[in-house]
Amino acid sequence: MFGQILAVTLLNLRNVPARRGPSLVAVLGVAGVVAVLCATLAIKAGFRAALGQAGAADVVIVTRSGSDTELSSNLTGSEVKVLTDNAYIVRAAGEPLASPELYVLVDLLTRGKGTPANVPLRGVGAKATAVRDHFRVTSGRMFRPGLFEILVGRGAAANFRGVGVGATLTLGGTPWTVVGVFEDGGSVTESELWTDVTVLQGAYRRGNSYQSFRARVAEPAAVARFAAALRGDPRVDVLVRSEEDYYAAQARALTSVVSGLGGAIVVLMGLGAVFAALNTMYAAVATRTREIATLRALGFGALPVLVSVLIESLVLGLAGGVLGGLAAYLSFDGFQASTLNFQTFSQLSFAFRVTPGVLGAGLGYGLLLSLLGGIGPGIAAARLPVTAGLRA
């Protein structure tokens, strides 16, 4: 039986060039679906990377109790003082590695179309860089405390106008000077502008208030101990989470939107690819009616005929999957984009990530479509009456 399958399959594959038109339609149909699927998954992977890399398991983020995000949170100066005294915060040279933070949304114009976008201008404490593992200034210098100076994230620098080093931005009626560009391992932080938190409080009349408090603890397990030390303290009413958990929740909200919209498009295109494969394989069977009947008369079984048709369909699907995956990788991998983060109503800059997992999922989906497109024609070929085929 295996010998028959091999013989019939090789015969079918040798005849593919004679049906190059229909075969090319099937290959391109699968390639288009795979490319769209890979692009959708690359967006999701980019979201996860941007938000996932921003959160560390050994860094706590504290917000007002009941607040889902920093945007809806508010912490007073006295509460921040209580948080800073927490015994589980790591200290260096006697100073706690903690950063009380505040941010406002400012309007910037996107590159290209020039549409306005909400961009976070974050005020950070002196130890902000110590609670972020991958932070580094890549151009210019760090802002000086007490001055109207801004540090721009790499993603913001790539997606918005007028934020180059040396530029002056008028925000909140105050001129600010851009003094440097930073990166933070591709995280969501790179979508932001940074300045001194005390300067930001004064410029936007926020008094002695903050929105979040970040601090480094000795180990991930210390996050729970940090929270337990504050539980029942009447001076504070806060929610304590690890940064990892905080950003994972935001990632789930964003990826669910992409999954819903992208999934609908991929399914509809997939139906088209299946019909293209069906048309191709039915045409292949129709043009080989006499050939299949002759093989059956010579003693070839129905199963080898069925399997050979399925293998031919899968080979076409494999070619389409590889072509679509390659097109997605060359077109989208590393592509910088930005979108609205519905959790914070601010712009999120991220890079498409066409990972091996994304390519594998695209290729698997392409093969599945080809298999579905080959089953019907394969069964029709296997059931073809020998006498009817010979008369044809």
Read off the pLDDT of residues 15-61 as tens digits, 9 standing for 90 and up.
767 667 777 877 888 888 888 888 888 887 877 776 666 678 899 99
Shared domain for 270 and 384, answered yes or no, is yes
Q: Is residue 34 part of a domain?
A: yes
Shared domain for 94 and 220, answered yes or no, is yes
Give the CA dihedral 10, 13, 17, 22, nearest 10 degrees. Answer: 150
Using 50, 70 and 90 to split pLDDT, how confident is the model at 186? confident
Shared domain for 110 and 229, answered yes or no, is yes
What's the CA gap between 361 and 333, in Å, rounded? Answer: 15
Shared domain for 254 and 384, answered yes or no, is yes
For residue 237, pLDDT beyond 70: yes
Q: Whole-number mean pLDDT of the chain?
A: 83
Q: Among 32-41, 80-89, 98-107, 204-213, where is mean pLDDT lowest?
A: 32-41
Q: What is the number of other CB atoms lying within 10 angstroms of the CB of residue 4? A: 18
Q: Is residue 58 part of a domain?
A: no
Q: Is residue 243 part of a domain?
A: no
Using 50, 70 and 90 to split pLDDT, how confident is the model at 280? confident
Mean pLDDT of 263-273: 76
> Which one is predicted more confidently, 264 or 391?
264
Q: Is residue 161 part of a domain?
A: yes
Mean pLDDT of 292-320: 78
Shared domain for 191 and 310, answered yes or no, is no
Query: In terms of residue numbers, what domain contains 262?
Result: 2-52+250-391
Using 50, 70 and 90 to split pLDDT, how confident is the model at 288? low
pLDDT for the residue 345:
56
For 5, 268, 281, 287, the CA distances from 370, given in Å and listed in that order, are: 19, 15, 10, 19
Closest C-alpha among 243, 190, 262, 321 to residue 44: 262
For 265, 277, 319, 344, the CA distances from 289, given in Å and listed in that order, are: 36, 18, 25, 62
How many domains is the chain built from?
2
pLDDT for the residue 140:
94
Closest C-alpha among 215, 202, 270, 196 to residue 81: 215
Longest alpha-carbon distance in the chain: 95
pTM above 0.75, yes or no: no
Q: Is residue 57 part of a domain?
A: no
Pairing of strands 95-96, 193-196: unpaired
Shared domain for 299 and 159, answered yes or no, is no
For residue 387, pLDDT beyond 70: no
Residue-wise pLDDT tens digits, 312-357: 888 888 988 999 999 999 988 888 776 666 566 566 667 788 989 9
Shared domain for 216 and 258, answered yes or no, is no
Using 50, 70 and 90 to split pLDDT, how confident is the model at 202? very high
174-204 burial: b if 16+ Cβ within 10 Å, else e? eebebbbbbbbebbbbbbbbbbbbbbbbebb
Using 50, 70 and 90 to split pLDDT, how confident is the model at 170? very high
Shared domain for 187 and 310, answered yes or no, is no
